[in-house]
């Protein structure tokens, strides 16, 4: 398959090298377009007021891989690849392997997930994959799983508009307990801005925070991605760019029909 690989950790991140090289060795045609520096927590931002530059990267990846380092965001990288750098569209966009988890509400900030989401927006099946540690640097179990997952998806394709958000425990393959389909969980932060003074005496603030993971129990529902990782399971969460709250459409329609509300909207 033709694969476009992106990330938000930048061209020198070990996760993207492990992923791209593993997939190239498995026989796929791999192209890498990723930021020229770390772009974590940029969400789905795009560069609109500055030019975007892309430089060819040599001697970083497997010899069969074509690679560019892009000055823009993760979403810029995918959009630029599809619109300018690639001669034909890829069969899949794969974003990662991210250093650190992308679980629960963290996906709203994630450049890794946003790069994959850009592929889905353009009609290309996409996967975001993360290793759930900021300190463990053995990406091979996650890269091997990505290779197996792509092989399975080649035989049984994804429905349109669906992105798979994959989180892999930072463990040896032999210690991973299995794979489970999950729903998006909840991760909240007790935000803490550390107030500091720079050498010139000016005040600045450094964002920090303590994560609080919640485990909402809902009968007959899949476990959350947060729960799965706590149990040493690989989490696969289906996502989509359509943020419509389906239950809200029905409830708001009924609300708008109420006699006390309807006159307020008569135009």
| Separation in Å, CA 90 to CA 34, 40, 94, 267 | 15, 24, 10, 48
> What is the reported pLDDT for 216?
64
- Global confidence as pTM: 0.92
CA 160 to the chain's CA centroid: 17
The answer to whether the CB of 223 falls within 8 A of the CB of 213 is: no
> What is the reported pLDDT for 66?
97
What is the rounded average pLDDT of the residues 238-248? Answer: 93
> What is the reported pLDDT for 91?
97
pLDDT in tens, 45-70: 999 999 999 999 999 999 999 999 99
Sheet holding 66-70, edge to edge: 54-56, 66-70, 29-35, 2-6, 92-99, 126-131, 163-168, 233-239, 178-181
What share of the chain has pLDDT > 70, as a percent? 96
Is the predicted pLDDT of residue 208 greater than 80, yes or no?
no
| Per-residue tokens: 16 | 């993207």
Pairwise CA distance, residues 5 & 23, whole Å: 10
Q: At a CB cut-off of 8 Å and minimum separation 6, what does 122 contact?
A: 78, 79, 82, 89
Domains of the chain plus CATH, in order, are: 2-185+217-250 (3.40.1210.10)
């Amino acid at each position: 398959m033709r694969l476009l690989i992106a990330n938000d950790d930048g061209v020198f991140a070990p996760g993207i090298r492990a992923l791209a090289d593993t997939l190239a060795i498995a026989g796929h045609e791999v192209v890498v377009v990723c930021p020229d520096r770390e772009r974590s927590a940029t969400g789905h931002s795009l560069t609109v007021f500055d030019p975007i530059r892309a430089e060819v990267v040599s001697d970083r990846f497997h010899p069969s891989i074509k690679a560019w380092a892009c000055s823009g965001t993760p979403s810029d990288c995918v959009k630029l690849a599809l619109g300018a750098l690639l001669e034909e569209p890829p069969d899949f966009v794969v974003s990662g392997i991210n250093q650190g988890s992308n679980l629960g509400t963290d996906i709203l900030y994630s450049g890794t997930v946003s790069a994959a989401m850009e592929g889905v927006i353009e009609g290309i099946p996409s996967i975001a994959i993360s290793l759930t540690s900021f300190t463990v640097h053995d990406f091979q179990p996650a890269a091997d799983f990505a290779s197996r997952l792509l092989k399975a998806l080649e035989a049984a394709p994804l429905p349109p508009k669906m992105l798979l958000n994959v989180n892999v425990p930072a463990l040896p393959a032999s210690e991973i307990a299995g794979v489970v389909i999950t729903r998006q969980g909840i991760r909240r932060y007790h935000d803490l801005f550390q107030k500091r003074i720079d050498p010139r005496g000016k005040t600045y603030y450094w964002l920090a925070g303590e994560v609080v993971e919640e485990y909402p129990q809902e009968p007959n529902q899949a476990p959350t991605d947060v729960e799965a990782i706590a149990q040493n399971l690989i989490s696969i969460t289906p996502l989509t760019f359509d943020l419509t709250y389906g239950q809200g459409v029905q409830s708001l329609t009924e609300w708008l029909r109420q006699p006390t509300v309807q006159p307020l909207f008569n135009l």
